[in-house]
A and B are shown apart, each in its own frame.
Chain A
Amino acid sequence: MAMTRKQRRLVLIGGSIGVLAVAVGLVLNALSGSIVFFNSPSDVLTKQIAPGTRIRIGGLVKPGSVQRGTDLKIRFEVTDGEHDIPVRYQGIVPDLFREGQGVVAEGKLEPGHLLDADTVLAKHDERYMPKEVVDALKKSGRWQEGETASAKGVTK
Chain B
Amino acid sequence: MIPELGHYALVLALALGLMQSVVPVIGAVTRDGALMRLANSTAVMQFVFVAASFLALTICYVTSDFSVATVYENSHSMMPLVYKISSVWGNHEGSMLLWVLILSLFGALVAVFGGNLPSTLKANVLAVQSWIACAFYIFILLTSNPFLRLAQAPFEGRDLNPILQDPGLAIHPPLLYLGYVGFSIAFSFAIAALIDGKIDAAWARWVRPWTLMAWMFLTLGIAMGSYWAYYTLGWGGFWFWDPVENASLMPWIAGTALLHSAVVMEKRNALKVWTILLAILTFSLSLIGTFLVRSGVLTSVHAFASDPTRGIFILCILVLFIGGALSLFAWRAPMLKQGGLFAPVSREGALVFNNLFLTTACLTVFVGTLYPLALEALTGAKISVGAPFFNLTFGPLMIALLFAMPFGPLLAWKRGDLYGAAQRLMAAFGIGLAVVVFTFLIEGRTAIVSVCIVGLAFFIMAGAVTDLIERTGLMRVPLKVAASRAAGLPRSAWGTAIAHFGIAVSLLGIIAAGTWGAERIVAVKPGQTLSLSGYDLIFNGLKEQPGPNYSSVVATFTVREGGETIGVLRPSKRSFATRSMSTNEAALMARGFGQLYLSLGDSEADGSLAVRLYYKPMVLLIWIGAVVMMLGGALSLSDRRLRVGAPKPARARPAMQPAE
Contact = CB atoms under 8 A, between A and B. Distances in A.
Contacts of A35: 372, 383-385, 389
A38 B299 CA distance: 14
Interface size band for A: 35 or more
Contact of B581 (A19, A56, A95, A130): A95
B32 interface: no
B237 to A, nearest CB: 11
B604 interface: yes
A3 B372 CA distance: 45
A126 interface: yes
A142 interface: no
Interface stretch (A9-17, A77-85, A107-115): A9-17
Contacts of B396: 26
B341 A92 contact: no
A72 B581 contact: no
Contacts of A128: 299, 303
B601 interface: yes
Contacts of B73: 153
B601 A16 contact: no
A131 B161 CA distance: 19
Nearest to A1: B343
B342 A8 contact: yes
B382 A8 contact: no
Given A68-B604, A72-B610, A92-B612, A31 B371 contact: yes
A30 B393 contact: yes
A34 B392 contact: yes
A72 B521 contact: yes
Interface stretch (B36-44, B326-334, B355-363, B506-514): B355-363
Interface in A1-29: 3, 5, 8-9, 11-12, 15-16, 19-20, 22-23, 26-27, 29
A19 B343 contact: no
A36 B303 CA distance: 22
Nearest to A56: B384
A141 interface: no
A72 B385 CA distance: 28
A132 B341 contact: no
Interface in A57-106: 68, 71-72, 91-93, 95-96, 106
Contact of A37 (B301, B367, B383): B383
Interface in B365-416: 367-368, 371-372, 381-386, 388-389, 392-393, 396-397
Interface in B294-315: 299, 301, 303, 305-307
B386 A5 contact: no
A36 B383 contact: yes
Contact of B610 (A9, A92, A130, A132): A92
Nearest to A119: B386
A127 B364 contact: no
Contacts of A16: 356
Nearest first, the 9 A-B pairs at minimum CB distance are A92-B601, A38-B382, A34-B388, A30-B392, A26-B393, A131-B299, A23-B360, A30-B389, A8-B341
Interface of B: 73, 158, 161, 163, 299, 301, 303, 305-307, 341-344, 352-353, 356-357, 360-361, 363-364, 367-368, 371-372, 381-386, 388-389, 392-393, 396-397, 521-523, 573, 579-584, 601-602, 604-605, 610, 612
Given A30-B388, A35-B389, A92-B602, 8 more contacts: A8-B343, A11-B344, A16-B356, A20-B360, A30-B389, A33-B392, A92-B521, A154-B305
21 contacts: A3-B344, A8-B342, A8-B344, A12-B352, A19-B356, A23-B360, A26-B364, A27-B367, A34-B386, A35-B372, A36-B384, A39-B382, A56-B384, A68-B604, A91-B521, A92-B521, A96-B581, A125-B161, A128-B299, A130-B299, A131-B299
